[in-house]
Structure 1
Amino acid sequence: MADQHKPGETVKASAIYKVVKEGDGGPEFEVTCVEGEHFPPTGGR
C-alpha cells in the first residue's frame, strides 16, 4: 500500500500525488506537490 499523507503535512519528495477524499466519496484527482511545501487542502467541508 502506498504511503498516505494528510493536508498540511510537509512534502518529502516532489511528485504527482493521487488525492482520495474520505467521507463524501468525491472523485479522485491528482496534484503536483513540491518537496518542502505542504500538501494542499482537499476541499472538505
Structure 2
Amino acid sequence: MADQHKPGETVKTSGIYKVVKEGGGGPKFKVTCVEGEHFPPTGGR
C-alpha cells in the first residue's frame, strides 16, 4: 500500500498525488505537490 499523507503535512518528495477523502466520498482528483511545501486541504469533510 502506498504511503498516505494528511493535509498540512510537509511534502517530502515532489510529485503528483491522488487525493483520497476519508470515507471514500466526493470527486476523485490529483494534485501536484512540491517538496518542502504542505499538502493542500481537501475541501471536504
* Superposition TM-score, scaled by structure 2 size: 0.90
Q: Which amino acid aligns with 2:39?
A: F
> In 1, distance between residues paired with 2:7 and 2:42?
7
Q: Which amino acid aligns with 2:11?
A: V
> In 1, distance between residues paired with 2:27 and 2:39?
18
Residue-pair matches, total: 45
Mapping for residues 1-40 of structure 1, pairs under 5 Å = 1-23=1-23, 25-40=25-40
Identity in percent: 89
Gapped regions of structure 2 (runs ≥ 5): none
* Superposition TM-score, scaled by structure 1 size: 0.90
